Amino acid sequence: MTVRLPDVQHHPLRIVLDTRGRSPVSSRIFSDSLPSETLVVTSEQANKQWCQQLRDKNIEVLQFATENQVIDLKHLLSVVAQRGISSVLVEGGAKVNGSFIEQGLVQRIYAYIAPKTIGGDFAPGALAGKGIEKLFDAQQWQFTQIKSLNPDVLLVAEKENV
């Protein structure tokens, strides 16, 4: 979760969502060799020792109240906005991605597709969550860019105004 472009002077704040506090403190994402800072957002129930180990590495830890082990993402974004951050790039797993979509907090999707198959009965999809019961209820998106990156493809979609 770093900018990989050459000659980039500004590296944005990394925000790690870990409701249960399960990410190993030794993970590369918590390395002090990475540029910029890392903010960890977790629940009030997260292991106190884990939180302290992160703080000992000069990583800011915010503990939020949760409902059903889910962090209120709108509240998180308001806290981030108070720091002057007006745009967030979410690189998440199915649960995080699904939560942002379900809460209506996504304006644009960047989907990179590689010509590889890695599925299986237990392979997670790109989105988790409640989903919808009827196709009529699906959120509508408009492709704004389709770009070949040899061999991958980038799809960019923006939320349609409904």
Q: pLDDT band at 97, cuts 50/70/90?
A: very high
CATH code for the domain in which residue 76 is found: 3.40.430.10
- Do 85 and 23 reside in the same domain of the chain? yes
35: nearest Cα among 6, 13, 61: 13
- 40 and 2 within one domain: yes
Band (9; pLDDT cuts 50, 70, 90): low
Residues 52 and 111 in one domain: no
The verdict on 28 and 74 lying in the same domain is: yes
* pLDDT digits 0-9 by tens, 98-108: 999 999 999 99
Q: Same domain for 52 and 116?
A: no
Instruction: Give the span between the Cα atoms of 60 and 138, in whole angstroms.
Output: 37
- Residue 137 sits in the same domain as residue 63: no
Classify residue 159: in a domain, yes or no: yes
Residue 60 has pLDDT above 80, yes or no: yes
Q: List, for residues 75-88, the tens digit of each pLDDT value.
A: 999 999 999 999 99
Look up the domain containing 18 and give its range.
Answer: 1-89
Position 42 pLDDT exceeds 90:
yes
Measure the CA angle with vertex 17, ends 97 and 32; round to 5°. Answer: 125
Same domain, 34 and 64: yes
Q: What is the pLDDT of residue 17?
A: 94
Q: Are residues 127 and 57 in the same domain?
A: no
Number of domains in the chain: 2
